[in-house]
Structure 1
Amino acid sequence: MANVQTGLKALDALLPIVEAHWRVIERGKGRQRQAILGEHPSSYSENGYGPPCPLLPLPANSRYKLTVDVPDMVSYPLPQSSSSYSGHAPSSVAMVSGLHPSKMNCTRIFNLFCLYGNIEKVKFMKSVPGTALVEMGDEYAVDRAITHLNSIKVFGKRLNVCVSKQHAVIPSQVFELEDGCSSYKDFAMTRNNRFSSAGQASKNIIQPPSAVLHYYNVPPCISQDHLLRLCMEHDVPVFVKFKMFDAKPSSKTISGLLEFENKTDAVEVLTVLNHYQIRIPNGSNPYTLKLCFSTSSHL
C-alpha cells in the first residue's frame, strides 16, 4: 500500500511537467502557417530542414523513474539553429534597421522582403526611428531574408536585418511616417504574396540581390521606352540594358530582363516599382508589374 501511495504522489508531481510540455507543443502548432516555403538557404539539407530534431529531456529526478513507468524523453520538433539567428530563439519576425526615414514605408519593405517568403505584417517602431518589424510566414522565411538582405544598401543606407525577440507584430502606437503613409500595414490577405500555394512557390527562385532584374506580368503594349519613363517618373535609376523574352501570340503578358549599373540601383528600383499598377487605355483591370532578382549576372 505504501508503494502505491508513493507512486501516486510521484505521478501527481509529474503531471504539471507533462502538461507544461504539451502546452509548448500546442503553442508550436498554433504558430505554424500555411505558407509554402520554397527553396531554403544552403545551410538546410536537401531532404528537409536538416538532421532529426533533438529530444527535449524531462527534468532529472530519480524518484519519478523509481516509482512511475514514464518515458525519459518527450519529443517535439525544435527549430533548427542557423548562424543568422545570432543566438536568438527562432522567430517569424525580423527586425530591420537602417531604413531611410523618408523613402522607406511598409509597402516598400513588402516589395523587397516578399521575394524570400510571405509577409504578414509590417510595423515601424516609434521609439526607434528607422527601424521596423516584419512578420513573415515562418522563421525560415526570416532566415532567408537575413541571408540575402542583411547589409545591403537601400537609398544610401545599409540595412541591418536580424531575428526579432518578438514573435508577432502587434498594431500598437500607429503613427504617420514622413511620406504620409501609416507606420503599420497588414499584408496577410494581399495577392502579391508569392509563397501562398505550391504553384506560386514553384515559380520562385531564391536569389540574392543582383544588378539584373527579371520583370513579368507586363501588358504586351508596354515597350522599353515605357519602362524607362516609369523609372524616371519615380525618380529611380534607369536601366542600361533591356531584353524582352519572346512570347506566344496568345500570351496576354510579356516578360524580360533589365540590367542596371550596379546591384544597389537594381535594389532601389525593385523596392519602389515592384507591384506597380500599370493601367492601359480601355483596360478593365490594371496589370501588376512583378520584379525579382535574376539568375543572370549580365545581359
Structure 2
Amino acid sequence: MVTPQSLFTLFGVYGDVQRVKILYNKKDSALVQMSDCNQAQLAMSHLNEQKMYGNVIRVTLSKHQTVALPRDGLDMQGLTKDYTNSSLHRFKKPGSKNFQNIFPPSATLHLSNIPQNVTEDDLELLFTNTGGTVKAFKFFQDRKMALIQMSTVEEATQALIDLHNYSMGGNQHLRVSFSTSTI
C-alpha cells in the first residue's frame, strides 16, 4: 500500500522531500513537495511511468506550490506528513557525492553502509523477503558496499522503498540507491 513514507523514500532518491499528502477523497493520488523545482523535475523525469505496487505511476508538476499541513487533530488517517527536518534527506549537504549518483530506476541496486559481519546470504535473504528474486550479487572489495540485481525494475523499486535506511544493528542503517552498474 502506498503511504507517505513509501513516497518519501522513493521520491527521496531524486531530491529532498519536504511534505507528502495522499488525497483523502482520491487515495490513488498524492502531492509530493520537493526542496526545489530542479528536484521536482528530476523526480518527474525519472519516476513518471514507473511501476509501484503493481501500478504505473504518473508524475506531473502540480499547480500547488506547497503542500498544506492539516490542522491539529484533523489527519486521523495519517495521509499528510511533514519531512522538512528529516535526517534521511540525501541532498542536504552541498557537494555531497549523492548528487553524482542519481540514476533512473533500474533492476540493479547499490548498497552501502553494510556492517562487516553481514554476509551475501544475509543480504540476499533480506532482499528476497521484499517479494522479489535476487538475480545476482557482488560485494565491493571492502565489503562495505555491494550491488544486488533483482528480476525487474519494479522488484528493485519495492526493495529500495522497503530497505533504504533499514537497521542492520549496531546503529548502522543500510543505504540503497538505483545503479547503472552491471554485475
Q: Tell me if both proteins adopt one fold, taking TM over 0.5 as the criterion.
A: yes
Instruction: Name the structure 2 match of 1:85.
Output: none
2:31 is aligned, of 122, 126, 133, to: 133
2:101 counterpart of 1:205: yes
CA distance in 1, matches of 2:97, 2:64: 26
2:149 counterpart of 1:259: yes
Instruction: Name the structure 1 match of 2:91.
Output: 195
Instruction: Give 2:66's aligned amino acid.
Output: A
2:167 counterpart of 1:271: no
2:135 counterpart of 1:240: yes
Instruction: Name the structure 2 match of 1:288.
Output: 173
8 Å CA contact 1:111–1:275 kept in 2: the answer is: no
2:3 is aligned, of 105, 108, 111, to: 105
Instruction: Give 2:165's aligned amino acid.
Output: H
8 Å CA contact 1:126–1:175 kept in 2: the answer is: no
8 Å CA contact 2:90–2:98 kept in 1: the answer is: no
2:76 is aligned, of 175, 178, 191, to: 175
Cα 1:232–1:207, aligned 2, differ >3 Å: closer, same or farther?
closer
Instruction: Name the structure 2 match of 1:164.
Output: 62
Q: Secondary structure at the match of 1:278?
A: coil
Q: Secondary structure at the match of 1:163?
A: coil
CA displacement 1:241-283 (0-9 Å, x = unmatched): 1100011xxxxx710100111212111111211111221xxx3
Larger radius of gyration: 1
Q: Which runs of 5+ in 2 are unaligned?
A: none
RMSD over aligned CA atoms reads 1.6
C-alpha displacement of 1:149: 0.2
Q: Secondary structure at the match of 2:18?
A: strand
The total of aligned residue pairs comes to: 180
Instruction: Give 1:191's aligned amino acid.
Output: S
C-alpha displacement of 1:291: 0.7
CA displacement 1:138-192 (0-9 Å, x = unmatched): 011110011000010112101011111111111225232xxxxx21221111121
CA distance in 2, matches of 1:153, 1:196: 27
The TM-score, its normalising length taken from structure 2, stands at 0.91
C-alpha displacement of 1:106: 1.2
C-alpha displacement of 1:202: 5.3
Instruction: Name the structure 2 match of 1:145.
Output: 43
Instruction: Give 1:214's aligned amino acid.
Output: H
CA distance in 2, matches of 1:243, 1:259: 9
Compare relative contact order (CA 8 Å, sep 6+) and give the higher one, 1 or 2: 2
- Matches for 1:38-49 after TM superposition, within 5 Å: none
CA distance in 2, matches of 1:220, 1:175: 42
CA distance in 2, matches of 1:239, 1:202: 25
8 Å CA contact 1:274–1:291 kept in 2: the answer is: yes
8 Å CA contact 2:17–2:32 kept in 1: the answer is: yes
% identical aligned pairs:
29
Q: Which runs of 5+ in 1 are unaligned?
A: 1-102, 177-181, 248-252
Instruction: Name the structure 2 match of 1:218.
Output: 114
CA distance in 2, matches of 1:229, 1:201: 29
Instruction: Give 1:188's aligned amino acid.
Output: T
- Please state which structure has a larger fraction of its residues in helix: 1
